[in-house]
Amino acid sequence: MANITFKNNPVTLLGNEVKVGDKAPDFTVLANDLSPVSLADSKGSVRLISVVPSLDTGVCDAQTRRFNEEAAGLDNVKILTVSVDLPFAQKRWCGANGIENVQTLSDHRDLSFGEAYGVGIKELRLLARAVFVVDSNDTVTYVEYVSEATNHPNYEAALEAAKAAN
């Protein structure tokens, strides 16, 4: 498993670490309207999955805004942002911040995504910061588990991986 810290304190990750070349694990999370969403719902597209602890924090806000801005330049790439924030809070945050190019998804119900991708933080019931790129055939082509959850991911590497997976 990846070694992750949250505010410099080691945390325990739930689930299995995902690696490049793996078949992307399926999951079920909630859209902002409370409808279930799985990996299969975006089959045929490249998926850039941006994982954040909470949209209402500075780095998570910046990460989601950055991928929202970059989305327009990515053909056949869906950007999914997953957190354990409630769907209502995600919808409010997106509306207040003009986020229209990424789909925010809530893993609050049962940490389905967190456990499938090895990003559930046991001690906090949050998700560790990470980025995954999954190609149109459901193969993982890029993985970044950010070692300190309060740091930014490597945006450029993730965006290049998404373009290359097309």
Tell me whether residue 94 is one of the annotated catalytic residues. Answer: no
Of 102, 79, 90, 30, nearest in space to 56 by CA: 90
Residue among 140, 150, 161, 166 nearest 67 (CA): 161
Token pair listed for 81:
């942002």
CA distance 39 to 101: 18
Residue 43: other Cβ atoms inside 10 A? 12
Catalytic residue among 37, 60, 71, 146: 60
Main-chain dihedrals φ then ψ at residue 86, nearest 5 degrees: -65, 145
Beta strands in the chain (DSSP E): 5-6, 9-10, 13-14, 28-30, 36-38, 46-51, 77-83, 103-106, 120-121, 126-127, 130-134, 140-145
Active site residues: 60
